[in-house]
Amino acid sequence: MKNRPLFLLGLFLAVLTSWAGFVLGSHGQLGSLTPFFDEADGQSHPARLPGLAARGQLVYADLGCAACHTQQVRRPGFGNDQARGWGERQSVARDYIFHAQPQLGASRLGPDLMNLAGRKPQAPSAEELHRLLYTGSAAHPAFPFLYETREIAGESSRHAVRLTGAAAPKAGSEVVATERAQTLVAYLLNVNSGFDYPEARPLPAQSPASPEAKK
Amino acid sequence: MSYPPTKAPAAEVSPFDAPARWPLALLAGSALVWLVLSSLLALVTSIQLHTPSFLADCSALTHGRAQALRETAFLYGWAGNAGVGLGLWILGRLGGHPLRALNWAVVGTVFWNLGLLAGMVGIATGSMTGFSGLQVPRAVQPVLVAAFCAMALPGVLAWAGRKREGTYAAQWYAAAALFLLPWFWTATQAVLLWSPLRGVVQTIAVSWHTQSLVSLWLMPLALAAAYYIVPKQTGKLLPGYESAPLAFWTLIVCGGWSFGRHLIGGPVPAWIPTMAVVAQCLLLFHFLVVALNFRQVFAGGSLTLQYLRFGLVAYLLTGLLETITSFRGVGVHTQFTLLVPAMEQLTLQGALSMFLFGGLVYQFPRIIGRDWTLPTFVSGHGSLYMLGVVISVLSLGWAGLAQDALLNHSQTPFAEILVQLKMPLLLHTAGQFALLAGNVLLLVAFLRSAASSCCREEGAASLRPASSAS
């Protein structure tokens, strides 16, 4: 520790190695991933998010939805993500190449949202999502500031949320989804990882390490 | 045993401390204000876990934003300010000269805190970056790095211009922390904000940054305080001190590698979680040496030593639990559950904050030249905080275990899981309440001491000739 420049150089190199190894290393490995062109259906996967949904991702990020929701499905046999109907296969890096900012999340106080539109047995509709966002539930906060209550002028808005019971607005008014709510719901219904990439398939059951294969 | 913990013998107020008094008090004071704010926000987020409708109407405090605000106030506001204050002080004292360029530190502190304030307003109004651990809006981040460099300057000068050739462990940790933060934060900003990498590489970069923030910046500052204070308080040499350099380099080299334990089973290359297992096993050596070095804290009875003792136990537990949960077979159960925030609280509030409190409680009387005016408030803080950490960590751990059973091993509908966890989550709120109450006590004690020191500036100044003569 007596040698001052050597000490600082050591610190610098220690972090440089770590940064280059992890960040640049994984960038080298994954940074050039391209969409997968499927000859069977003549399309590339994943598709870019539609404009409305791409803006919804910003709303998702600025509300901090990732504090309680993940967007990553783990492989079969690792946790019970499949049993919960969150996705048939594990999420792979290629799923995220068009996400401006992947929101993998680290907490599952709420369900995984990677594959909401392909949820088994039944995917929620936009209407149900709006209702949940507006009224909340015992386990989900409400986001009333994403909606505005206003007088019905002439025809009812096509973005009005159909509400019943205590949450329903008084007669002559309606609860309308703001643009932010619309983009958020569009985003949630478009994050989808339905396509079966080759790298997402589980390894063959007979791995070379298993005793049967050795025989 | 009966040694009054906060008593600052006049002879200990070295002539080095006098010019640094108000710059360091500014750092400590802003740290405590952020601490109270972050514990208030932690109370809000913990209530929201069992009562989601709490403050849901308020867009600035919706759960996701309140979490980001709490995290920012805690990491950058409380731990950053307090750690830098202690680091500068230690480097100045051990460097053998009064701290130089302190006006840089003052300007840096002011801009750091203003920047954080702007960042908090940005998060509350919807400009947060969405990168966990790095939520401050992008426009503010370069300001924070620049402000940090200004804050750290006196420490770097004290390290580079030190009188003695030989150095102490406290100096390595403090100097490393001051040097490394601007380096890795700039690197992270480059790949996340200015020229974003593609897809999940962003997640890898931000996890790496968050881990480095704790392992390469905050923990070293806290350990520097402990390495400085423990021998002074116990009056004995640190046992096993010859291994301390190796422990230091183990932390610096491997500290940033262990972030992959949060990414097991995720869409990242499989070698990243594997490297986390390797790093955690290597870091066991670091934890072992730290345990050996500090084992005398179990003998002493002063309040500073009580803080450090609690911090040490929490630090070692953290090391052990993180190693165990980095293995995939265990991690598959703990991942995504409340066990992760439980361990995070153990690290940040159990280990990190306790070391910093030990440092502050020891440092503050020595820089203002008089004892704590309200020692009962300080010891009250100690008891409440320790109680709060134990309750919070245990209740979150309980909730996490129950959540793992419901989430991973049953078909309980999702909406019911959180409802079934209500009991431990209510307990967690109680723990957060104790933390908040304790922190308010400490802030009041700090303000009283600082105010009475201002009133008796002459009295404090008269200590200077006495101490320089000694």
Mean pLDDT of chain A: 87
Assess if residue A166 is contained within a domain. yes
B39, pLDDT greater than 80: yes
- Out of A116-120, A187-191, B154-158, B312-316, which region has the weakest mean confidence (pLDDT)? A116-120
Mean pLDDT value of segment B178-196: 94
Residue B236 CA to residue B299 CA, distance in Å, equals 11
Assess if residue B327 is contained within a domain. yes
B252 Cβ partners below 8 Å, 6+ apart?
A: A10, A11, A14, A15, B176, B180, B216, B220
Assess if residue A11 is contained within a domain. no
pLDDT computed for residue A206 by the predictor: 57
> What is the percent of chain B with per-residue pLDDT over 90, rounded to a whole number?
78
Residue B7's SS3 state is coil
pLDDT computed for residue B125 by the predictor: 94
A173 Cβ partners below 8 Å, 6+ apart?
A: A149, A150, A151, A152
State the Cα angle at B357 between B353 and B363, rounded to 5°.
140
Q: With CB atoms and an 8 Å threshold, state whether A22 touches B204.
A: yes
- Out of A67-71, B158-162, B163-167, B241-245, which region has the weakest mean confidence (pLDDT)? B163-167
B452, pLDDT greater than 90: no
CATH code, A136:
1.10.760.10
Q: Which domain holds residue B32?
A: 10-469
Q: Are B226 and B148 in contact (CB under 8 A)?
A: no
B398, pLDDT greater than 60: yes
What would the pLDDT profile of B75-99 be if each residue is shown by its tens digit? Answer: 999 999 999 999 999 999 998 888 9
C-beta atoms surrounding A207 within 10 Å:
9
B420, pLDDT greater than 60: yes
- Residue B277: both structure tokens together: 């297992």
- Residue B419: both structure tokens together: 């409802």
C-beta atoms surrounding B306 within 10 Å:
21
pLDDT computed for residue B402 by the predictor: 94
pLDDT computed for residue B206 by the predictor: 95
A213, pLDDT greater than 80: no
Task: For tokens 């006196």, name the residue.
Answer: B154
Residue B410's SS3 state is coil
B70, pLDDT greater than 70: yes
Whether B451 and chain A come into contact, CB under 8 Å, resolves to no
Q: Which domain holds residue A109?
A: 51-195
Q: With CB atoms and an 8 Å threshold, state whether B256 touches A10.
A: no
Q: With CB atoms and an 8 Å threshold, state whether B167 touches A75.
A: no
Residue B235 CA to residue B232 CA, distance in Å, equals 5
A212, pLDDT greater than 90: no
B249 Cβ partners below 8 Å, 6+ apart?
A: A10, A14
Mean pLDDT of chain B: 91
pLDDT band at B412 (very low <50, low <70, confident <90, very high): confident
CATH code, B340:
1.20.210.10
Assess if residue B5 is contained within a domain. no
What would the pLDDT profile of A72-130 be if each residue is shown by its tens digit? Answer: 999 888 888 888 888 888 899 999 999 999 999 999 999 999 988 888 778 889 999 99
B-proximal residues of A, 30-89, CB under 8 Å: 30-31, 33, 60-68, 70, 72, 74-75, 78-80, 83-84
Whether B96 and chain A come into contact, CB under 8 Å, resolves to no
Residue A176 CA to residue A134 CA, distance in Å, equals 10
Phi, psi (rounded to 5 degrees) for A175:
-105, 120
Which runs of E-coded beta strand occur in A116-172? 147-151
Which of residues B192 and B408 earns the better pLDDT score? B192
Task: For tokens 């639990």, name the residue.
Answer: B321
ipTM: 0.91
A212 Cβ partners below 8 Å, 6+ apart?
A: A206
- Out of B7-16, B233-242, B253-262, which region has the weakest mean confidence (pLDDT)? B7-16
Cα A196 off chain centre by: 17
pLDDT computed for residue A1 by the predictor: 57
Tell me the residue type at A164: T
CB pairs under 8 A between A and B: 217
What would the pLDDT profile of A126-173 be if each residue is shown by its tens digit? Answer: 999 999 999 998 889 999 999 999 998 888 888 888 888 888 888 889
What would the pLDDT profile of B237-253 be if each residue is shown by its tens digit? Answer: 999 999 999 999 999 99
Mean pLDDT value of segment B302-310: 93
pLDDT computed for residue B2 by the predictor: 34
From chain B, pick out residues whose CB is under 8 angstroms from the CB of A27.
Answer: 191, 197-198, 201
pLDDT computed for residue B188 by the predictor: 95
B460, pLDDT greater than 60: no
Q: With CB atoms and an 8 Å threshold, state whether A104 touches B409.
A: no
Assess if residue A1 is contained within a domain. no
Q: Are B439 and B381 in contact (CB under 8 A)?
A: yes
pLDDT computed for residue B182 by the predictor: 95
The count of structural domains within chain A is: 1
Mean pLDDT value of segment B405-423: 87
pLDDT computed for residue B7 by the predictor: 44
Tell me the residue type at A125: S
pLDDT computed for residue A3 by the predictor: 66
pLDDT computed for residue B13 by the predictor: 65
What would the pLDDT profile of B113-125 be if each residue is shown by its tens digit? Answer: 999 999 999 999 9
Q: Are B87 and B150 in contact (CB under 8 A)?
A: no
Q: Are B230 and B294 in contact (CB under 8 A)?
A: yes
The count of structural domains within chain B is: 1
The answer to whether the pTM exceeds 0.90 is: yes
Mean pLDDT value of segment B7-24: 70
Q: How many residues are recorded in chain A?
A: 215
pLDDT computed for residue B10 by the predictor: 42
Nearest to B446 by CA among B378, B366, B353: B378
Nearest to B381 by CA among B329, B332, B435: B435
Q: How many residues are recorded in chain B?
A: 470
From chain A, pick out residues whose CB is under 8 angstroms from the CB of B417.
Answer: 139
Assess if residue B1 is contained within a domain. no
